[in-house]
A = this chain, B = another copy of it.
Amino acid sequence: MNEARIERAPGFRIDDPFWSHYLRMVREVMIPYQWEALNDRIDGAEPSHAIHNFKIAAGRETGDFHGMVFQDSDIAKWVEAAAYLLESERDPALEQLVDEVVDLIVDAQREDGYLNTYFTLKEPGREWTNLAECHELYCAGHFIEAGVAYHRATGKRKLLDVVSRLADCIGRTFGREPGKLAGYDGHQEIELALVKLYRATGEKRYLALSKYFLDQRGAKPHYFEQEWEKRGKTLHFPQLSMVHEHTYSQSHQPVREQSEAVGHAVRLVYMATAMADVALETGDEGMKAACRRLWESITAKRMYITGGIGSMEQGESFTTDYDLPGDLAYAETCASVGLIFFAKRMLELDGGSHYADVLEKALYNTVIGGISLDGTSFFYVNPLEVYPDVLGKNKNYNHVKAERQGWFTCACCPPNAARLLASLGDYVYRTREDTLFVDLYIGSQAEVELKNGLVKVEAQSTYSAQGQVRLTVAPSPAQAFTLALRMPEWSDGVEIRVNGKILEDPFVNEDGYMRIQRIWSAGDQVELCFGMPIRRMKSHPLVRQTYAKTALQRGPFLYCLEEADNGKRLYQLRLAESASFRLEQAEGLPGDIPALVTEDGYRLRLGEAWTDQLYGSGGQAARDAARLTFVPYYAWANRGIGEMSVWIAEGNL
């Protein structure tokens, strides 16, 4: 029997010329599509088995477990995403579906609180014996996130109670005390989830358990080796080295001592997210410092210009400083989702706009670039350069696709992107005492709580396309607070009007925010008009793959060349150092984001005499004028299979 919804006003509703498209897509396409996928009803796609596994575990159906060892987490992420949708807009049919899933989860949970269909069905009795590889705590973490989200959205406690029992089961099992397992998960996730559960329930034991998992990580002797010995050296993924390669799971060192972003990118950012959460809750300076070092390592040395992270397919991993190949990039969509989680926590911990800049970069480029414009297909891997002719022939590119795929055997990215987009409202504002921070400029209605009371905020925004935002506040009653407006790193200046009156010399604070302090009354308006130059971006001199090449950026969007506009053999194109651009309306892009077009490009052409020989002393290359059209990176691969490149070499005309 389903419990009653506790009616509450929607906290946040997005109405934005760019983002509404994505929210609509999540609601109307992705969540229904993913529901069908979880129920194995998508023709031609690998069946998920996720719901079926639960039905077997709940005793409602018979059969065997199928799917990855972490298949359960797809359901958890779907519930979480659905919860965020329900939070901003009622949808009784969707809520009914979620309630049914919650009942299924209730039935699949064991008496002692344990919840994992893989072990319940396939390896009963071997629970908690292979943390390195088997994702039990990872899946638990996702259920906890779902339970917290659904409670926040509807006030319904059933799933929150389920995941609290699950967390208590975990708490009884893990710890340094005698009789407990002094382990931690191979794939971090439980740590950040437990902080959410702590915040939702106020139960400090969940925060302590999160802190335990973080602090225990990397202890010697190594837990993954110990449990491996103990279980007879069996492996779940024999082709991988999750047990012995400790950098892969960031368990090579205690987390407080880590300074470099190594190993599996998603794991790293999920871990760092929890570290920042715990640092915020506890004020732990050592943990804070480690968060800052990891942030620096990622964003100053190991991140693609699109906000993608993880330079190599092997281990879905970071490699080393300044090693950022565009064609071999892994840059998993999930890793950029995780980077956004981490950025959000760093904003809360440290409050500098550079965190929001990275958050915005990952969101506007890699995350939505992972989704087709119609919401039905997805990239797992987000390269910065693709030559389709070589795919399937040179196996170094086996992970790279030139077109988005319907669903994946390891289907982590689509539901992860969905839950992020559905909760986008969480990333727009922050409050601290009497200051309202505006981190993202997304058209929306919101209600935020400041020191002196509730404030309604409406944002009307053409920020994505034109850099303009109008904020209307409605405190009730009138109250003094500070509006802290993020100055995006890509902007060369801003004009601000308060109730129509220009603000002279807006001052950007050291933290990257411009502050307006006053007593605000209902209807007060702030208008922002950000300068939105076309920026010719360069990479750090130590990034050899893109050295002295240019990538174009306008506003939060990185751009790329596509074969559809520029013909084949993009590597032959050059951009004049003096090129000027015009904005050209591109058809069919959300929010009417323009294309960038220049006549100041050229195509190098080797001597006329070049015939069939592979090498020759053919003399200098000639230059044929070429119009170059750059489209936003997020929109690539929506016009059939073709070449793509973010970076272009420069030259003199």
A residues whose Cβ falls under 8 Å from a Cβ of B: 239, 299-301, 303, 305, 311-315, 319-320, 323, 325, 328, 387, 389-390, 393-396, 535-544, 547-548, 551, 553, 569, 571-572, 577, 604-606, 610, 612-621, 649-652
**Bound: A138/B195 CA distance, A:** 62
**Bound: A536/B617 CA distance, A:** 5
Distance of A298 from chain B, by nearest CB (Å) = 9
**Bound: A542/B652 CA distance, A:** 22
**Bound: A303/B613 CA distance, A:** 11
When C-beta atoms are compared, the residue in chain B nearest to A239 turns out to be B239
CB<8 Å pairs between A and B, sample of 27: A299-B614, A300-B614, A305-B614, A311-B394, A314-B395, A319-B394, A320-B390, A323-B390, A323-B393, A323-B394, A325-B394, A387-B544, A396-B396, A536-B619, A537-B615, A538-B618, A538-B621, A540-B610, A540-B613, A540-B614, A541-B605, A543-B614, A544-B569, A547-B604, A548-B606, A577-B620, A649-B649
The answer to whether B328 touches A396 (Cβ under 8 A) is yes
Known: A320-B389, A621-B548. A538 touches B305 (CB 8 A): no
The answer to whether B615 touches A320 (Cβ under 8 A) is no
Which residues of the partner chain B approach A540 to less than 8 Å between Cβ atoms?
610, 613-615
**Bound: A652/B621 CA distance, A:** 12
Which residues of the partner chain B approach A314 to less than 8 Å between Cβ atoms?
395-396
When C-beta atoms are compared, the residue in chain B nearest to A311 turns out to be B394
**Which 9 pairs, one residue from A and one from B, show the smallest C-beta to C-beta distance?**
A320-B393, A314-B395, A319-B394, A544-B571, A535-B617, A538-B618, A319-B393, A548-B604, A548-B621
Which residues of the partner chain B approach A652 to less than 8 Å between Cβ atoms?
652
Which residues of the partner chain B approach A620 to less than 8 Å between Cβ atoms?
577, 650
Which residues of the partner chain B approach A547 to less than 8 Å between Cβ atoms?
571-572, 604
Which residues of the partner chain B approach A577 to less than 8 Å between Cβ atoms?
620
The answer to whether A539 touches B614 (Cβ under 8 A) is yes
**Bound: A311/B394 CA distance, A:** 8
**Bound: A538/B613 CA distance, A:** 10
Known: A323-B390, A394-B312. A572 touches B541 (CB 8 A): yes
Distance of A65 from chain B, by nearest CB (Å) = 25
**Bound: A545/B298 CA distance, A:** 28
**Bound: A547/B387 CA distance, A:** 14
Known: A390-B320, A572-B547. A300 touches B613 (CB 8 A): yes
Distance of A606 from chain B, by nearest CB (Å) = 5
6 further A-B pairs in the complex, CB-CB below 8 A; given A239-B239, A303-B614, A542-B569: A305-B615, A320-B390, A323-B393, A537-B615, A547-B571, A548-B572
Which residues of the partner chain B approach A614 to less than 8 Å between Cβ atoms?
299-301, 303, 305, 539-540, 543
**Bound: A401/B312 CA distance, A:** 18
Which residues of the partner chain B approach A300 to less than 8 Å between Cβ atoms?
612-614
When C-beta atoms are compared, the residue in chain B nearest to A617 turns out to be B535
Distance of A250 from chain B, by nearest CB (Å) = 16
Distance of A222 from chain B, by nearest CB (Å) = 21
The answer to whether A538 touches B617 (Cβ under 8 A) is yes
